[in-house]
Amino acid sequence: MASIGRLTITWLGHSTFLLGTPGGSRLIFDPWLVDNPQCPEEWKRKVPAVDVVLVSHGHSDHVGDAARVARENNAPVVGMVELCRWLQRQGVRRVEPMNLGGTITVAGLRVTLVEAQHSSACLDDESPIYLGAPSGFILTLEDGRVIYFAGDTDVFEGMRLIRELYHPEIAFLPIGDRFTMGPRGAALACDLLGVKQVVPMHYGTYPALTGTPKEFRKYVSTGIDVLECRPGETVE
């Protein structure tokens, strides 16, 4: 767990993060626990206590445990409308369906859905199930700080608009390459977004994800703080 003021971040591997907000809310992004090779064993055996579940897109390495976590906490799932409807069929009782550009307030936090350059479908069946467009999240905390969780994406010109509209201070960016942008693209994303801090994610899970924080640091502009977490680690 890395601590930034009263904001706490726990990385559970890949793109799964638990956040504790200044106002006391607990969120989880892209919950993938049981089959996640990076997730510590103790987190695979228990369901995190959360108030909100946020899911960026429908690939199994991002939505894998979303229904289980939401059901056991009776927590709402926030995400693309098609993805939310699909999760309802998995027994999720509370959903907050959205689409790109929309903003809602949940657990006292403002959440905006923004674009991502990726794909989104359930690939577990013979015929893929379309689960809406992939997305990222803008999260405005109780103290006014703004977080950008990119989900899976390449760098894209629209990140300039995200900077202009929302002024994020902290970004969670994939760096693993092959299925998302790699370290060089993620470093450019930092510049486009104008963030002060960045948390790398979606790397090291499989051999195919070759991007590393070390390589990422080579490209990141001076003055941007790279917050490198280890799965399950607590730093206060």
CATH number at residue 42: 3.60.15.10
- What is the reported pLDDT for 233? 81
Query: Does pLDDT of 216 surpass 70?
Result: yes
- Is 76 part of any domain? yes
- This prediction has a pTM of 0.96
- Is 154 part of any domain? yes
**Total domain count for the chain?**
1
Cβ atoms of 169 and 197 closer than 8 Å: yes
- Is 233 part of any domain? no
Query: Does pLDDT of 163 surpass 80?
Result: yes
**CA separation for the pair 89, 79 (Å, rounded):** 15
* pLDDT tens readout for residues 50-78: 999 999 999 999 999 999 999 999 999 99
- Is 235 part of any domain? no
**CA separation for the pair 124, 140 (Å, rounded):** 34
Rg (CA), the chain: 16
- Is 53 part of any domain? yes
Query: What Cα–Cα distance (Å) separates residue 150 from each residue in 30, 68, 135, 136, 233?
Result: 11, 23, 7, 4, 22
- What is the reported pLDDT for 236? 45
Query: What Cα–Cα distance (Å) separates residue 229 from each residue in 2, 187, 198, 199?
Result: 7, 17, 11, 8
- Is 43 part of any domain? yes
Q: What is the dihedral of CA 80, 86, 90, 92, to 10 degrees?
A: 40
CA dihedral for 165, 167, 172, 173, sign (positive or negative): positive
Mean pLDDT of 153-159: 98
- What is the reported pLDDT for 45? 86
- What is the reported pLDDT for 175? 98
- Is 231 part of any domain? no
The residues facing 206 across adjacent strands are none
Query: Does pLDDT of 36 surpass 80?
Result: yes
Q: Phi and psi dihedrals of 67, rounded to 5?
A: -65, -45
Q: Which domain holds residue 218?
A: 2-226
- Is 234 part of any domain? no
Query: Does pLDDT of 107 surpass 50?
Result: yes
Alpha helices in 74-225 (DSSP H): 81-88, 159-166, 183-193, 213-219
Q: Which residue has the higher pLDDT, 104 or 3?
A: 104
* pLDDT tens readout for residues 13-34: 999 999 999 999 999 999 999 9
The first and second tokens of residue 183, run together, are 């370290």
Residue 165: DSSP 8-state: H
Q: Phi and psi dihedrals of 200, rounded to 5?
A: -75, 145
The first and second tokens of residue 104, run together, are 């809602």
